[in-house]
Amino acid sequence: AYRTLDPAGIRAFLAAQPALAARLGGRPDEWRVREVSDGNLNNVFLIHGPAGGVCFKQSLPHVRVDPDWKMPLDRTAFEAAYLRAVRPHVGALTTELLHFDPDLFALVIECLDAHVVLRQGLMQGGDWPEAAAAIGRFVARATFRTSPLALKFEDASTLLAPFARNHTLTRITVDLVLTDPYHAHPRNHWLSPELDTTVAAFRADPNVRRRVGQMQARFLTCQQALLHGDLHTGSVMVAAHDTRVIDGEFALPGPIGFDCGLFVGNLLMHLFATPTPQGRTRALRDIGQFWTHFRQDFTTQWTDAVARDQAGDAYAAPLFRDDPASLHQVQARFLDEVETDTIAFAALEIIRRITGYAHIADFDVITDRAARAARQQAALHLARDLLAEPARIPTIAALLALAADRAG
């Protein structure tokens, strides 16, 4: 029964759902339907009636920006499942799922009229001082609460198993993020020939190759928690005092540092792309805020769970409840490992967004070709160093110092 809905089809679809029609108010012919598709994969529409609005998102049988690239439809089903899994733990740090239609692969979520996409807002010079801390809390809660640190292993396994079958979008990540940029592949491209030698150099570097391979293995074998899976700055919507993570269609079980690394990697690219000193100061502040709040919130939840005897089977409460010093040590070691992963995945995200298939607007809007190439070059050099010399940059604090120095 699948068909791609046009505005008239969306109107009829919503009119047939009493709760959604009531949310919009008025008559269907009064509703305004506006396409706002922006990402690479799906159709997205905003619908407004006299009483309010909703957001309608539908899978296409192909990549939206490349109709020749055929693709199964199930990604919105994973997005709906992700929202159901994490919303109880993160509340209004994500959106409310209002409806999912498994035949049309269409989901309806609340409409965020007062918000803008964080990437677009940052590119326009905006500042959301609370957003990075909120994303830190989102990742801490969404991952801790879906991991065996918080769940009995049977419950963790039951929760994570369906997401391990998110094969289509995980394949995209394995190829586009973790593999293609490190060898010649027709999907790779970059705008400036000045980058050719930089790309050739990191591809030829055995230290880079070994580290990329290690991170491929971490991504595929380290199932610590349920991940968002595509947490770039285009997957975040912000208003003055409200931050929401959207677009959980890439959700999968994996290493927590992957979600952290994608967010940090995108802020690092903004750091190199932004033309103003204020923009650079904010980008560095946001990376620090994200990491501090992620780490604090994750630790607090873990400590509380152990104290309340509600911890999971990993680092089980009966062993650690009466030994806070050991609990503190194992927490620090666990999060140090997430920090190491975060730095490496941030580097992989930078490299793929400059030399792979899917680029980001932050760099693309720089019209002066030489300036753009110089900034991309600086970001690529940083990413290369993060991968090849992890002992030199072992912490987010060290990363911030180096990035501040390199970005000027």
Q: Is 356 in the site for Mg ion (CB under 5 A)?
A: no
CB 402 within 8 A of CB 393: yes
State the residue for tokens 């912000």: 238
Coil/strand/helix, residue 226? strand
Q: Is 248 in the site for Mg ion (CB under 5 A)?
A: no
Residue 34 gets which letter from DSSP?
E
Which of Mg ion, ligand SR1, none sits in contact with 71, Cβ below 5 to 8 A by type?
none
Q: How far is the CB of 256 from ligand SR1 (least distance, A)?
A: 18
Using the minimum distance from each CB to ligand SR1, give the nearer residue, 247 or 341. Answer: 247
Residues 245, 87: Cα–Cα separation, whole Å: 10
Q: How far is the CB of 122 from ligand SR1 (least distance, A)?
A: 17
Using the minimum distance from each CB to ligand SR1, give the nearer residue, 230 or 297. Answer: 230
Please give the residue ranges that form the binding site for ligand SR1 (CB under 6 A).
39-41, 63, 172, 176, 230, 358
CB 46 within 8 A of CB 36: yes
Q: Is 49 in the site for Mg ion (CB under 5 A)?
A: no
246: left (phi over 0), alpha (psi -120 to 50) or beta: beta
Using the minimum distance from each CB to ligand SR1, give the nearer residue, 101 or 247. Answer: 247
Q: How far is the CB of 64 from ligand SR1 (least distance, A)?
A: 9
Q: Is 247 in the site for Mg ion (CB under 5 A)?
A: yes
Using the minimum distance from each CB to ligand SR1, give the nearer residue, 233 or 342. Answer: 233
- Tokens representing residue 100 in the block: 């999912």
**Helix and strand tally (H, E) in the chain?**
16, 12
CB 223 within 8 A of CB 160: yes
Q: How far is the CB of 232 from Mg ion (least distance, A)?
A: 8
82 closest CA partner among 235, 238, 247, 224: 247
Residues 367, 335: Cα–Cα separation, whole Å: 40
Q: How far is the CB of 230 from ligand SR1 (least distance, A)?
A: 5
**β-sheet bridge partners, residue 242:** 239
Q: How many CA atoms lie within 13 A of 392 on its CB side?
A: 11
Q: How far is the CB of 312 from ligand SR1 (least distance, A)?
A: 30
Residue with the shortest CB distance to Mg ion: 247
Using the minimum distance from each CB to Mg ion, give the nearer residue, 263 or 334. Answer: 263
Using the minimum distance from each CB to Mg ion, give the nearer residue, 231 or 284. Answer: 231
- Tokens representing residue 378 in the block: 């600086």
- Tokens representing residue 303 in the block: 């400590």
Which of ligand SR1, Mg ion, none sits in contact with 199, Cβ below 5 to 8 A by type?
none
Among 5, 11, 20, 39, binds Mg ion (CB under 5 A): 39
Which of ligand SR1, Mg ion, none sits in contact with 172, Cβ below 5 to 8 A by type?
ligand SR1
Using the minimum distance from each CB to ligand SR1, give the nearer residue, 358 or 402. Answer: 358
Q: How far is the CB of 247 from Mg ion (least distance, A)?
A: 4
E strand intervals along 91-180? 97-101, 106-110, 116-117
Residues 387, 207: Cα–Cα separation, whole Å: 8
Q: Which stretch binds Mg ion (CB under 5 A): 35-43, 131-139, 323-331, 360-368?
A: 35-43
List interacting residues with Mg ion (CB under 5 A).
39, 247
